[in-house]
Amino acid sequence: MSITRPKLYLSKWAENGKRFDVPDSVSDTAMGKANIQTGFPEVTMKSVLNGGVPPWGQDHNGILNRITQDIQWEQAGGMPVFNASLCNKMIGYPLGAELRSTRYPYVSYVNMVEGNLENPDNSTNIDSYWNGTRLGNGWAIKTILSKDPDNISYLDSDFRILTKVAGAQTNLYVRLSDKSNEEQAKKIANGSKEKPFIHPQDAINAIPDGGNGNIYMWHSDIFTLDSWNISRKNVVFYPWFADDDKTITDLQNILVEHIYFFSVYLMKNYPRVQVNINIKKGAVIPNTYDPGLFSGNGGNVDFYGFNFIATQKIPDGFTMNGASPFSPQITYQFVGCIFTNVSYLDYWFNGWQNSITYDIKFDHCLIEGNKNQFINLKNGTVNINTSTDEDWTWVKELTERDIGYLQGNNSRAYLEKRSSYNNFDMKIIGYLNKDQDKPIYYPNGLNTNFDLVFD
């Protein structure tokens, strides 16, 4: 036999009737008044002929009103919080009791020990709670999932909890959808070749925090850098070509190490992944422009064969106010990439501050545009490594015809110039003589694998 669902108390007992508020302990028992500790006094249990006093109907209404009020609160989803008086009266909360936090509306606690006298809200450190191997304060935390896209556990569209597995390499695909079916593409996208994501951030979000992922972006699409955030992930971005593209297949076949050399030797006129950097006028500080940022918090990112294009030149009298397309706290590597319209922005890399050290590697990259401050130095340290700008003819596997189509590279020649850096100053690292009147200077906050040219 199934259990019948209880009826809801939409109204409390005697909600509109006459009733007394029954006290906890003291009442006029001689007059037959009830209280919580003694209930109805003994005098109400005698016949009037024997000196008894009838119980008060208002007391009946009062106590039933209080009981049904408590039941109504529970039926409405009410959950108790820790109460010291009740805890001491019971000599601790029973095993399995659940309480709501008074600090966080989305947190509740489950009691893991019998007779727990601890107030779970008194603990502010996560290590103070029960964790399965250490008792702590005896309370285990129950909480909702955060909205942080880097969560390893998350809710799917059917409100089921799914868990991403860190460690394994994740291969994901991104291709822009035509506007007519964009909403449908968003709904069915899962990052596969057949159902690619339409925004790079969706692919980034599908990689667990601290995990590794390859993101393949359709080679002829034009994307916009609009606050891509990799957090603490290790992400490699590759161009994605059709499997049956014979031109690309032939070019790949004559290269030495496939994707590495393929990214470096992409033909100039062949469509490649284009990422536009659109700056916008700042809404807070006048005469300020703020581009979209590629950001993170300790992650690593590699780009193979991308073309980053500044699409708007900052007018005279305006500044980027410390913002840049590529923000700090990330280790960068660019292989076979092109940076176009470099002079449109104040700088492309910025924010190296405090005592943190960052690494950037440019491998066979082409930096296009007038001589400009490409990197803004601050208080931290940035390590820059570039490949040499050698002649392509050393690649024996390529024919003379193919070499004529190869992307040029000038990252070494560009970045060895003093004028490529903003906030550039020198520090003394030693002296030429014991009198210390002939100091040796070195750029402050900058380490390179090449010598600087002070132009």
pLDDT for 47-85, tens place per residue? 999 999 999 999 999 999 999 999 999 999 999 999 999
Asked if residue 90 and residue 73 are part of one domain, the reply reads no
Determine, yes or no, domain membership for 182: no
pLDDT digit string (tens) for 77-112? 999 999 999 999 999 999 999 999 998 888 999 999
Domain boundary among 143, 162, 189: 143
Q: Residue 192: inside a domain, yes or no?
A: no
Q: Is residue 167 part of a domain?
A: no
> How far, in Å, CA of 118 to CA of 248, rounded?
67
The verdict on 62 and 89 lying in the same domain is: no
Number of separate helices (H) and strands (E) present in the chain? 8, 26
Confidence of residue 220 (pLDDT cuts 50, 70, 90): confident
Residues 236 and 94 in one domain: no
Question: What pLDDT is recorded for position 377?
Answer: 82
Q: Does residue 359 fall inside a structural domain?
A: yes
Mean pLDDT for 438-445 is 74
**Domain end point (choices 143, 158, 175):** 143
Mean pLDDT lowest among 131-145, 195-209, 334-348, 424-438: 424-438
Q: What are phi and psi of 326, to 5 degrees?
A: -115, 110
Predicted pLDDT of residue 209: 78
44 and 115 housed in the same domain: no
Query: Are residue 18 and residue 119 in the same domain, yes or no?
Result: no
Amino acid (1-letter code) at residue 384: I
104 and 233 in a single domain? The answer is no
Say whether pLDDT at 398 is over 70.
no
> pLDDT confidence of 256, banded at 50, 70, 90?
very low
Q: Where are the alpha helices (DSSP H) in 267-422?
A: 400-403, 411-415
Rounded to whole angstroms, the Cα distance separating 341 from 367 reads 8
Is 314 a domain residue? yes
Strands (E), 168-305: 169-174, 212-218, 222-224, 228-229, 234-240, 273-277, 279-281, 289-291, 294-295, 299-304
Task: Tell me whether residue 214 is in a domain.
Answer: no
Which of 26, 47, 77 terminates a domain? The answer is: 77
Co-location of 138 and 246 in the same domain: no
Domain shared by 308 and 345, yes or no: yes
Q: Which two tokens stand for residue 151?
A: 């969560």
More confident position, 212 or 297: 212
Domain shared by 326 and 421, yes or no: yes
Residue 374 maps to a domain: yes
Taking only the tens place, the pLDDT of each residue in 146-187 is 665 556 666 666 666 766 655 455 889 999 876 666 676 677
SS3 283: coil
Instruction: Give the lowest-confidence range in 10-14, 20-24, 319-323.
Output: 319-323
Q: Distance between CA 349 and CA 325 in Å, rounded?
A: 7
Whether 453 is covered by a domain: the verdict is no
d(CA 68, CA 74) in angstroms, rounded, equals 10
- 103/227 same-domain check: no
Q: Work out the average pLDDT over 364-376.
A: 80
Judge if 121 and 69 occupy the same domain. Answer: no
90 and 72 both lie in a single domain: no
Q: How many domains does the chain have?
A: 3
Residue-number span of the structural domain to which 304 is assigned: 219-448
